[in-house]
Chain A
Amino acid sequence: MPALTAVGVVETADAVASGRRTAVAAVEEALARVEASDARIRAFLEVTPQAALEEARAVDARVAAGERPPLAGVAVAMKDNMWVSGRKTGCASRILEGFRPPGDSTVAARLRAAGAVFVGRANMDEFAMGSSTENSAYQVTRNPWDLDRVAGGSSGGSAAAVAARFVPAGFGSDTGGSIRQPAACCGVVGFKPTYGRVSRYGLVAFASSLDQIGPIARSVSDAARLYRVIAGVDPRDSTTADVPVGDPEGALGRGVAGLRVGFLREAEEEGLDREVAASLDDARRIFRDAGADVVPVSVPRTTVSISIYYVVASAEASSNLARFDGVRYGPRKSDADLASLYVETRTAGFGPEVKRRILLGTFALASGYYEAYYGAAMRARQLLREDFDRAFDAADVIVCPSIPGPAFRVGEKTDDPLTMYLSDVFTVPASLAGLPAISVPSGLTAGRLPLGIQILGPRFAEEKVFAAARAFEERAGFPDDLPPAAAV
């Protein structure tokens, strides 16, 4: 039997639930791999072996008592912005240093009930603001395919931990692509569910009308298992919808025969990278060969989606992050008077990108600019949603690239925020429209760096998205090799 960390979620869970392996053995192997290789990758901000092994023993006891939990013994990397009871939550920010949440987030509670084990806090861009995990206040996560390159972001730690085979499962949050973009950069699967499908209780808020939690895994079937466990209405998050989750795992074998697969016209109009364009052509052929009805679709307002996103997300962030003022959490700077307590704590506690977004959001909401920026962005967002509604009359799912090019070099875009923002160009539209979207590895460039294809569905049509993703994955034949920088 191969080492359990080299196999996926479903195989691990089935082996542990059936008593062929123990959760303790599975988790010990994951911890050993982290110990051996994470000094190079830097996916984790903190590893908690003692708590993880305690949880693994509890899972083994449940299995011995006859339970068959769907994620028995599955080691999980949780992004550092989701509450896990007994652990710290820091959002990779100095301003939350030492914060201990009052309990589990709903997602952590559901994973725990399903037998998953939390091995550590995964690195991220501070407060999930970034596309490269370079904005962490602590460390830069490296891409397991090439240590000179970024892992993507903001959930770069979770994506790199899965790609390097430290753990079979990672969880991230996706506000404008923060699950799908790093997954594509690292050659793994990343899934953002429909807005309202997964509870955000216990997720530190960035942009509340966009934030959604989702899984990162090495296969579409693993992602479907992880998604099934966390999905569903939660009274603690009033934005969760009481819409049946269905059977995402059962949908995997449905195939795409007769399915109308729409290729996004606007994605191909914008001077696309040559290798990305080639991978899109391959995807078109793959879907056609699999029996799908391949059609072009148009979503005109995707061309202004970055503009809409950076107004809406920054405005919401400036409001959400007002709570970090040194009164209730984190290290306090200056006790001279209340005004300087706020200003000095925030100035010392937030990094440059977080400050940039707060300033941009404050600008967009300020008197004199509100209507021209926030008001216009909200109206354009509604037009984008209507564009998607029309496109889904013509297609069952929509395909476009996940990233405009392979993972870039560390430091390449740090001095140019606008260019960094444009790396989200293909992921932001689904976020703004609240749609489910998955990134599936589509192949390697000539320089052996991963690329990804994205599949979007109508709201709450996760089953269709998973069926199309599995059909693509099966035929794309992404290499199952261990990424070179992850080899011990």
Chain B
Amino acid sequence: MPPTPSIVTPDVVRRIAELARLRVPEAELPRWTEQLSRIVGHIDLLKQIPEEAFGSPPAEPATPLRADSPEPGKGDEALRANAPREMHGFGAVPRVVGAGG
């Protein structure tokens, strides 16, 4: 029987790279596709676990909450120290709307 074709194709890699905000050059696509296919092939071992083995997941413990009152943070200071470009206490980015506004 021929091996099952991998579901990770060059088109899938292109699509997930776009979702992940990464650029994968066309020349590198075959290598990424081959590596990810092998990894996903190994992950497919999970399919050997029969559905009936899965019960309902237990309830997660409640998240502890602190008092609902403001506390001073270090956000502004950290931003000023680390932002590649900062204006008026905000991280500055390129214009996101067209010239016509």
Interface residues in chain A, defined as those with a beta carbon under 8 Å from any beta carbon in chain B = 98-103, 235, 238, 242, 301, 303-304, 306-308, 310-311, 318, 322, 325-332, 335-338, 341-344, 346-347, 350, 355-356, 358-360, 362-363, 366, 369, 373, 376-380, 382-383, 417-418, 421
Contact = CB atoms under 8 A, between A and B. Distances in A.
Interface string B1-24: 000000110001101110111110
B78 A102 contact: yes
A363 B53 contact: no
A359 B83 contact: no
Nearest to B82: A329
B59 interface: no
Nearest to A322: B21
Given A307-B46, A328-B83, A417 B20 contact: no
A103 B74 contact: yes
A102 B40 contact: no
A355 B22 contact: yes
A252 to B, nearest CB: 30
A358 B20 CA distance: 7
B53 A383 contact: yes
A350 B20 CA distance: 12
A238 B20 contact: no
Contacts of B58: 382
Contact of B17 (A102, A359, A379): A359
Contact of A380 (B38, B39, B49): B49
A304 B91 contact: no
A337 B95 CA distance: 7
B22 A421 contact: no
A356 to B, nearest CB: 7
Given A99-B82, A366-B16, A325 B21 contact: yes
5 contacts: A304-B46, A304-B49, A311-B46, A343-B21, A363-B36
A363 B16 contact: yes
B57 interface: yes
Contacts of A326: 84
User: How many interface residues does chain B have, given as a range?
Assistant: 35 or more
Contact of A356 (B36, B44, B47, B54): B36
A347 B25 CA distance: 10
Given A102-B78, A418-B38, A379 B57 contact: yes
Most buried by A among B16, B66, B81: B16
A433 to B, nearest CB: 13
B36 A360 contact: yes
Given A235-B66, A380-B46, A366 B22 contact: no
A418 B39 contact: yes
A87 to B, nearest CB: 13
B20 A102 contact: no
B17 to A, nearest CB: 6
Nearest to A358: B20
Contacts of A360: 36, 39-40
A421 B91 contact: no
Contact of A362 (B19, B55, B63): B19
B91 to A, nearest CB: 5
Contacts of A366: 15-16, 19
Contacts of B100: none
Contact of B21 (A242, A346, A363): A346
Most buried by B among A238, A310, A360: A360
Interface string B41-72: 01111111100011101100001101000000
